[in-house]
């Protein structure tokens, strides 16, 4: 099969393309008569019976260059306030702002490369936190961390979603399991939770279950917002495009879908996978990497093309983006592979990354992966009793283990906090996708592992 595939008909269905014909002129809106009442959209500027602001004439006098300058000043003021809060100091010099602007530019273009792996020396065993509650009696399958590092939101095989306070180390609120969903008022989920994701501004929480629906909640109050329908099988993966409300979903129905949560609407479907899709990830660009069984693909959304990669000898269960040009995968063959989007085969392969299972002489499955965005650090989990931290060396052509973290049970999900000072681990007695093996001595809980760095 070709490495580079154009969008085409799949199963008789042709993907819709958006019209970009600028020659079509919009019809001018009819002007209201003098006697016509002003609608709510027309008097948004009226507050407390004040006169509407006369800004239209000012905007007309403002040149394009002056408008750019004004918006740039507003943006710089926002950056200054954010850096003042982050650094916890009143006086911010030009060097701090310049550094922040440079990092933001490099992040969005995919050129930022941080070398931080050598700073991770050991874990702070005295400060490890265990978060659990009575609602999570079965294995925790997925989790996400809010961008302000205040809360952890996790889902489990019980069909329950729980928000934990990372600062107070306790349960905050719960979306319960319900036996039967009421179409008039949705208060919980009726099946196992398989995937979860939160938007960069912490405005939307997306939850995927064994049903074919995606549930959208408000993270701070767990108020139900919308149910997105369209998939035909269980939702196995969810992720938000960074700094947007664009949501990607994948399912056992072998398709990936694009949603816009600003309009709470379906956008398009991505066809091509030959079997179930088990994992997916994205960053800032309109690119999506997804995997399932032995099928690994990169989708270029705006170009309507896809790239196919070959490397694993078994099923590929997990994929994570490292930066806009590289990603990492793990599967049931025990391999960890590091990829470049420009090469069909992996740059680096770690065989038997978590060792051999003595009971059957087969490699331990890679059940969870996480990568520090735009850095040289990755982490993997299995059921061998350890989480392993990896340093990605030589421009991602080599992978070296730098630290082992003891943990009992199946590691079903991993995530770094935004400052990378802590690792959040979802553990359980069983694998997130089945019950073929059980570690009876393990706990169904969340571990918060802090690092000691240089």
pLDDT at 146: 95
pLDDT at 94: 74
| Three-class secondary structure of residue 146 per DSSP | coil
Residues in the chain: 454
pTM for the full predicted model: 0.79
Q: CB 391: neighbour CB atoms within 10 A? A: 19
63, 84 in Cβ contact below 8 A?
Answer: no
220, 179 in Cβ contact below 8 A?
Answer: no
Query: What are the per-10-residue average pLDDT scores of the chain (454 residues)?
Result: 48 41 45 40 41 48 82 80 73 74 69 86 93 93 95 96 94 92 81 96 96 95 95 96 96 97 96 95 95 94 93 92 95 95 94 93 95 95 95 94 95 94 95 86 94 89
Among 279, 448, 437, which residue's Cα sits nearest to residue 368?
A: 279
Q: Helices 64-87 and 94-109: crossing angle, nearest 10°?
A: 100
The domain limits of the chain are 68-109, 119-453
The DSSP symbol for 28 reads: P
CATH of domain 119-453: 2.130.10.10
| Three-class secondary structure of residue 136 per DSSP | coil
């Amino acid at each position: 099969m070709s490495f580079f595939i154009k969008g085409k008909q799949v199963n008789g269905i042709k993907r819709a393309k958006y019209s970009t014909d600028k020659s079509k002129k919009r019809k001018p809106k009819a002007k209201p008569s003098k006697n016509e009442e002003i609608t709510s959209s027309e008097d948004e500027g009226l507050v407390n019976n004040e006169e509407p602001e006369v800004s239209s004439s000012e905007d007309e006098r403002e040149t394009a260059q002056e408008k750019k300058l004004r918006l740039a000043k507003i943006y710089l003021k926002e950056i200054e306030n954010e850096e003042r809060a982050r650094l916890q100091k009143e006086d911010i010099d030009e060097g701090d702002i310049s550094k922040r602007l440079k990092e933001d530019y490099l992040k969005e273009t995919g050129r930022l490369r941080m070398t931080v792996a050598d700073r991770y020396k050991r874990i702070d065993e005295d400060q490890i936190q265990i978060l659990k509650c009575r609602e999570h009696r079965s294995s925790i399958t997925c989790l996400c961390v809010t961008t302000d590092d205040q809360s952890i939101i996790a889902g489990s095989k019980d069909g329950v979603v729980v928000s934990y306070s990372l600062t107070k180390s306790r349960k905050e609120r719960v979306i319960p399991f319900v036996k039967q969903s009421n179409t008039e008022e949705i208060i919980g989920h009726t099946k196992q939770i398989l995937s979860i994701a939160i938007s960069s501004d912490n405005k939307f929480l997306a939850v995927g279950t064994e049903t074919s629906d995606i549930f959208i909640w408000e993270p701070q109050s767990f108020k139900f917002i919308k149910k997105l329908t369209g998939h035909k099988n269980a939702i196995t993966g969810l992720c938000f495009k960074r700094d947007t409300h664009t949501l990607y979903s994948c399912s056992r129905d072998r398709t990936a879908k694009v949603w816009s949560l600003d309009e709470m609407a379906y956008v398009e479907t991505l066809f091509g996978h030959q079997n179930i899709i088990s994992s997916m990830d994205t960053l800032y660009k309109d690119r999506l990497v997804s995997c399932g069984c032995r099928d690994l693909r990169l989708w270029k959304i705006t170009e309507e093309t896809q790239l196919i990669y070959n490397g694993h000898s078994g099923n590929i269960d997990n994929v994570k983006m490292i930066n806009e040009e590289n990603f990492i995968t793990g599967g049931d063959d025990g391999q960890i592979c590091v990829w470049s989007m420009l090469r069909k085969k992996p740059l680096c392969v770690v065989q038997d990354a978590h060792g051999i299972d003595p009971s059957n002489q087969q490699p331990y499955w890679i059940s969870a992966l996480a990568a520090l965005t735009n850095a040289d650090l990755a982490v993997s989990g299995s059921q061998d009793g350890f989480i392993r931290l990896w340093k990605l060396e030589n421009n991602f052509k080599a992978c070296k283990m730098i630290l082992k973290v003891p943990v009992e049970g199946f590691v079903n999900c991993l995530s770094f906090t935004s400052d990378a000072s802590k690792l959040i681990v979802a553990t359980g007695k069983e694998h997130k996708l089945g019950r073929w093996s059980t570690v009876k001595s393990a706990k169904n809980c969340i571990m918060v592992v802090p690092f000691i760095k240089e």
